[in-house]
């Protein structure tokens, strides 16, 4: 006679259920932890990739700041006078390239000149001017053979395709690159053997010149009271509106998609382009040469360039900047942390209320044309 089969007791059932629930809970905990770790790693990788892209763009532009093209390679213009009358034409022809091709602004309360005010949010601003010389026509550089400062006349070596005309805006560059001046041609004559231009005052052609003399100006002297100055034979003349390639770029934190902070790059008067979404702040420091040995002695804020760098003008002081150090505060697109993250940026503790991952990434960029 067979014995009746014995089942499990209630206690055994409860123990089995408890063990099963423990295994499920442990497995779920490991899964959730792995998922969060994966999300954090994915967000960190995205931030680093965004920073890499931003710094590649910024590095290329900073290295090329003040680049005058292959023909004038190595020409470090030490003083610059712009005698054009005020007006939109002055901004449209890229005079920054010959004046202050790299300049910074410390966390301005409002958008600096040239920046889309509706797009600007916060952070430091960097202005860079350089020449896209691969698009530049070679005939834009003409040889100056004579210059009479008193009569405001200049003689040029004639070429078959000089392209000059009355009203053109040009830059004359001294043969040793010590000085350059921007002005408008008020009269051009061609006697068959040579070209002769006049750079007198007046505004019969817009924008016109406020001074016929083109010498270096030291503040507080107005550019319209520039001293007499002679460009020696062998100096060069550049027609600005012919190159159509000198551009001024501005980097800043502005409104990205949905009005959220982003790193923007604005070229001239064009609409800003979004480089990196999630850029919360941009802080810049400038490596200045204090003793003229062509080495960086100290990294300072933009306002300190004006007070610490040697020189008698903003142009000469900013010419002492040999490198730019950029720090970006980036935030992930989604909330991936278990709690809000506290982070130190620019010497201050940032205490956000969301759970987005934040990172500070920094790059130091040398200015190629100054080292």
Tell me what pLDDT residue 137 has. Answer: 47
Model pLDDT, residue 6:
63
Fold of 137-243: Elongation Factor Tu (Ef-tu); domain 3 (2.40.30)
Q: What is the pLDDT of residue 160?
A: 73
pLDDT for 1: 52
CB 209, CB 186: distance < 8 Å: yes
- Give the pLDDT score at 240: 72
Q: Report the C-alpha gap between 327 and 192 in whole angstroms.
A: 57
Rounded to whole angstroms, how far apart are CA atoms 71 and 8? 95
Q: Which residues of the chain have pLDDT under 70?
A: 1-8, 12, 28-39, 68-74, 86-95, 131-140, 203, 219-220, 241-246, 369-371
**Which part of the chain has CATH 2.40.30?**
137-243
Task: Give CA separation, 178 vs 4, 19, 162, 196, 234, in Å.
Answer: 112, 85, 25, 23, 13
Sequence-distant (≥ 6) Cβ neighbours of residue 40 within 8 angstroms = 336, 337, 357
Per-residue confidence (pLDDT) for residue 149, from 0 to 100: 95
């Amino acid at each position: 006679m067979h014995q009746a089969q014995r089942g499990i007791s209630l206690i055994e059932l409860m123990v089995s259920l408890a063990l099963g629930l423990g295994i499920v809970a442990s497995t779920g905990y490991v899964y959730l932890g792995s998922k969060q770790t994966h999300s954090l790693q994915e967000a960190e990788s995205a931030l680093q990739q965004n920073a890499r892209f931003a710094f590649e763009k910024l590095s290329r532009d900073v290295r090329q700041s003040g680049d005058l093209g292959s023909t004038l390679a190595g020409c470090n213009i030490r003083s610059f006078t712009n005698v054009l009358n005020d007006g939109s034409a002055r901004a449209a022809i890229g005079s920054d390239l010959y004046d202050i091709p790299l300049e910074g602004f410390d966390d301005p309360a409002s958008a600096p000149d040239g920046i889309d005010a509706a797009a600007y949010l916060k952070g430091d601003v960097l202005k860079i001017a350089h020449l896209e010389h691969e698009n530049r026509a070679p005939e834009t550089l003409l040889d100056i053979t004579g210059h009479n400062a008193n009569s405001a006349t200049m003689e040029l070596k004639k070429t078959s395709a000089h392209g000059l005309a009355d009203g053109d805006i040009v830059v004359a560059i001294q043969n040793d690159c010590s000085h350059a001046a921007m002005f408008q041609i008020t009269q051009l004559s061609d006697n068959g053997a040579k070209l002769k231009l006049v750079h007198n005052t007046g505004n019969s052609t817009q924008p016109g010149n406020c001074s016929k003399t083109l010498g270096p100006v030291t503040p507080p002297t107005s550019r319209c009271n520039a001293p007499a100055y002679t460009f020696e034979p062998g100096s060069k003349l550049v027609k600005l509106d012919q190159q159509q390639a000198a551009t001024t770029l501005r980097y800043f934190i502005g409104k990205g998609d949905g009005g959220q902070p982003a790193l923007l790059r604005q070229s001239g008067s064009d609409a800003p382009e979004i480089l990196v979404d999630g850029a919360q702040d941009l802080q810049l420091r400038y490596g200045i040469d204090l003793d003229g040995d062509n080495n960086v002695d100290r990294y300072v804020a933009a306002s300190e360039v004006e007070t610490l760098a040697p020189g008698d003008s903003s142009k000469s002081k900013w010419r002492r900047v040999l490198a730019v150090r950029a720090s970006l505060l980036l935030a992930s697109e989604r909330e991936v942390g278990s709690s809000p993250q506290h982070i130190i940026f620019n010497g201050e503790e940032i205490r956000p209320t969301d759970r987005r991952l934040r990172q500070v990434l920094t790059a130091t960029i040398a200015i190629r044309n100054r080292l």
